[in-house]
Amino acid sequence: MPLKGKVGESIPRVDAMDKVLGKALFAADFRMEGLFHMKVLRSDRPHARIRKINTERAARMEGVVRIFTYKDIPGKNLIGIINKDQTVLAEERVRFVGDAVALVVAHSEREAERALGKIQVEYEDLHPIFDPEKSLDSTTLIHEKGNLLYQRDIVRGDVEKGFSDADLSIETIYSTSMLEHTYLEPDAGVAWIDEKGRITVYASTQNPHYDHREIVTSLGIDPSKVRVIQATTGGGFGSKLDITVQCFLALAVYYLRRPIRLVYTREEAYLATAKRHPLIMKYKTGVRQDGKIVAMYVDILGDTGAYGSYGIAVAGRAAVHATGPYHVPHVKVRARMAYTNRPFCGAMRGFGVPQVAFAHESQMDLVAEELGMDPFDIRLLNAFEPGSETATGQILKDSVGIKDCLQRVQEHSKKIKEEKASPGRLSGRGIAAMWYGIGNTGMKNPASARAELNHQGMFALFTGAAEIGQGSDTVLCQIAASEMGIGVEDIRLIRGDTAITPDAGATSASRQTYISGNAVRKAAARLRVMVLENASEFLHVPVKELSIEDALIKSIRDGKTLTTLEEVAARCKHEGKKLIGEGFFDPPTSTLNPETGQGIPYATYAFACHMVDVRVDPTTGEVDVLRVVAAHDVGKAINPTNVVGQIASGVAMGIGQALMEEFAPGQTGSMREYMIPTVKDVPVIIPIIVESPEHTGPFGAKGVGEPALIPTAPAIINAMNRALGVKIVNLPAKLERVMKMVLKGSGAVG
């Protein structure tokens, strides 16, 4: 019988049953005796100096336990995943509408909410800046160090010479909008003092170990005095990488020594949490008459809002990926990220690559049209292959599946007839390709894991990797099971608890399958060796002649069962031995040259191609996405069904990015004003899994979480451009904008 959960098998998710039966404990579900409730007072000014915070009236309100301001923070009042520029509670000034100013703890949520209205904050308004271009030219500083958060340059070859050698140059300016994550579960958490006297925070998060570090720093206490447990998390898409409730709860428990609960309303999540960075992207692409790209110039300006969050990472990743999955000998890219007084922007599925993919794939179609080439052919002509050199000077080795993806989709395009235009309806077909570096950009981003066999022969896997609905719990268990020679049902998973699990880094950048997967495989492999070595001693059989199958130790020669894991564990207990395997993996990357951006930003890349058929009603502006063919090079599909699920979710989110989603500060207050796709908007999806094994990956695997989204919007826009005969340069292409396009008839429109 094959092992249940072997790598490559589609098994149900290990957390599915608890979620289906409602047993999974989300943060908002958590209750404790003597629980207090917290609410947050937030700024109603985009930019102002705080003159005075008067809490006296609020403190006398019925049910109020205590009110906290920045003065109560015993440690450092600064947080931030990459650079520390955001306050836990506003100190000297507020920088956007939604900045946290004070906390109210009361016996009930209603009492805490009422007290908020009695806190008096005296502001001195400062000049607000809402435009990133104006921000860089302004003498008004949002932060003391200046309004430029970060700049990343990529320089390869001689771009001026490249354009002089080109037969054709295409110049276009593209823009994308600010987006809201709209995860199903608003941010929430509960904190208390545990049996060991530790401040324990049970929260919805994507990175419990990062949360732990920020709490420790803000409280100024020993790390052993804080514990963070990841609650069952109802989605994140990047926003839950930032600190939300964690430091607020820990601060209150630090003083009150009582359990505290904080749950954001949907409106509060919209107001105060991270958004996707809007980018303005100026592209110039130079090509020869035969379709070969010879030069590319890209200037990217992003709005990071009031705080940096992941703005540095987004600017860096956008710059590295600006050329698309194509060989370009002469490249010059400048990516800047500016502060404004708009909501702060952070990580959102793709880290800037969905935005630049819209631009570079639009450029590819424009070039193909000018040269009279097929959109597939021009991409195949320029696409990476093993041995290609990227814009950062990295030589790609194995697992470069972009041409396979293009060819597989092209085969489907020949089989599937394109939708024909009908009276009152226009139709179009578009394609888009992408590449995506797995893990953080040009920096260390390791993961650790631990595997243990207890004295009863039970296998336990310890990992800090946060499961947020993407399926990492299942994938990591499958990797461990395959390496150890047991079934997934034999594994006890202990995950996301800073007191007992190793640090696996953030659940972001599609890194957990590749990076934590490697750490888990190494931990399981070391444990397997220990088990076999101990079995070899009492069986008097060489280790090389033993294997573990179905949790039994067998002879490789004849397949006979010689002993069990339970027996080995019992003997080790008698001898005082512990069976523990530890694993660690950090992708082989290098920092990028600060002036030229040359280096190895990622150890491996995912690749994909999507083809989309659309139908447009020019009288109403309605766009129907009819079909999406999606080919993804994932290295190795650990769980094929899980990969298909990621592709489907990426397509759905990409439809929103292309056609409807747009967060307007001050106007978008809830899901009433923010449109996201529903089940009726999801088209027929034909997933194609391409397996181009990555030699450094666990069983050859890479990742698919963020890549699944990236090609959808540009493919939709290319299909719409073909249907309407226009050039869409601004996202989203909402109904009103489509109508303007139809009325204009041609030219660049938004």
DSSP 116: H
Q: How buried is 377 (Cβ within 10 angstroms: 0-12 exposed, 13-18 middle, 19+ buried)?
A: middle
Indicate the pairing of strand 100-106 with strand 36-42: antiparallel
Q: Give 459-501 as a DSSP string.
A: EEEEE-PPPSSSSHHHHHHHHHHHHHTS-GGGEEEEESBTTTS
Q: How buried is 729 (Cβ within 10 angstroms: 0-12 exposed, 13-18 middle, 19+ buried)?
A: buried
Spatial separation of the C-alpha atoms in residues 450 and 275, rounded to whole Å: 35
pLDDT at position 1 = 40
Grouped pLDDT means (10 residues each) for the chain, 750 residues: 78 95 96 96 98 98 98 98 97 98 98 98 98 98 97 98 98 98 97 98 98 98 98 97 98 98 98 98 98 98 98 98 98 98 98 98 98 98 98 97 98 90 90 98 97 93 97 98 96 98 96 98 98 96 95 95 95 95 98 98 98 93 95 98 97 98 96 95 97 98 96 98 94 89 62
User: Residue 238 — left, alpha, or beta (φ > 0 → left; ψ -120 to 50 → alpha)?
Assistant: left
What distances in angstroms separate CA 479 from CA 287, 463, 473, 506, 636, one per listed residue? 45, 13, 10, 19, 12
CB contact at 8 A, 89 and 98: no
pLDDT at position 743 = 80
pLDDT at position 423 = 85
Spatial separation of the C-alpha atoms in residues 487 and 482, rounded to whole Å: 8
Q: For 620-647, what is each residue's pLDDT tens digit? A: 889 999 999 999 999 999 999 999 999 9
CB contact at 8 A, 392 and 602: no
CB contact at 8 A, 446 and 584: yes
Q: Give 42-103 as a DSSP string.
A: E-S-SSEEEEEEE-HHHHTSTTEEEEE-GGG--S---B-SSS--B-SS-SSEE-STT-EEEE
Which token pair is 193? 């003092």
Q: How buried is 557 (Cβ within 10 angstroms: 0-12 exposed, 13-18 middle, 19+ buried)?
A: exposed
Topology annotation, domain 279-441+592-749: Aldehyde Oxidoreductase; domain 4 (3.30.365)
Indicate the pairing of strand 579-585 with strand 447-453: antiparallel
Is residue 347 classed as helix, strand or coil in its secondary structure? coil
pLDDT at position 456 = 86
Q: For 697-733, what is each residue's pLDDT tens digit? A: 999 999 999 999 999 999 999 999 999 999 999 999 9
Q: How are strands ordered across the β-sheet holding 546-549? A: 546-549, 552-555, 561-564
Which token pair is 491? 């594994």
pTM to 2 decimal places = 0.96
- List the one residue out of 339, 308, 340 whose CA is nearest residue 81: 308
pLDDT at position 745 = 63
What single letter denotes the amino acid at residue 113?
E
Domain ranges in the chain with CATH number 3.90.1170.50: 31-127+182-272
Which token pair is 227? 């514990």
Domain ranges in the chain with CATH number 3.30.365.10: 16-23+446-585, 279-441+592-749
User: For the domain 16-23+446-585, what is the CATH code?
Assistant: 3.30.365.10
CB contact at 8 A, 80 and 310: no
Q: Give 626-668 as a DSSP string.
A: EEEEEEEE-SS-SSHHHHHHHHHHHHHHHHHHHHT----TTT-
Which token pair is 92? 């000297």
Spatial separation of the C-alpha atoms in residues 377 and 371, rounded to whole Å: 11
Q: Which residues contact 426 (CB under 8 A, 6 or more apart)?
A: 615, 616, 617, 618, 723, 724
pLDDT at position 2 = 46
Which token pair is 1? 């019988």
452 pairs with which residues across the strands?
460, 580
pLDDT at position 420 = 81
Give kind and range of the element (H or E) at residue 57.
helix 56-59
User: Residue 334 — left, alpha, or beta (φ > 0 → left; ψ -120 to 50 → alpha)?
Assistant: beta
pLDDT at position 444 = 94
Indicate the pairing of strand 48-54 with strand 426-437: unpaired
- List the one residue out of 681, 570, 566, 676 whose CA is nearest residue 628: 681
Residue given tokens 């990227």 in the structure block? 390
CATH architecture designation of domain 31-127+182-272: Alpha-Beta Complex (3.90)
- Measured at the CA of 135, the angle between CA 130 and CA 138, to 5 degrees, comes to 125
CB contact at 8 A, 510 and 650: no
Is residue 676 classed as helix, strand or coil in its secondary structure? coil
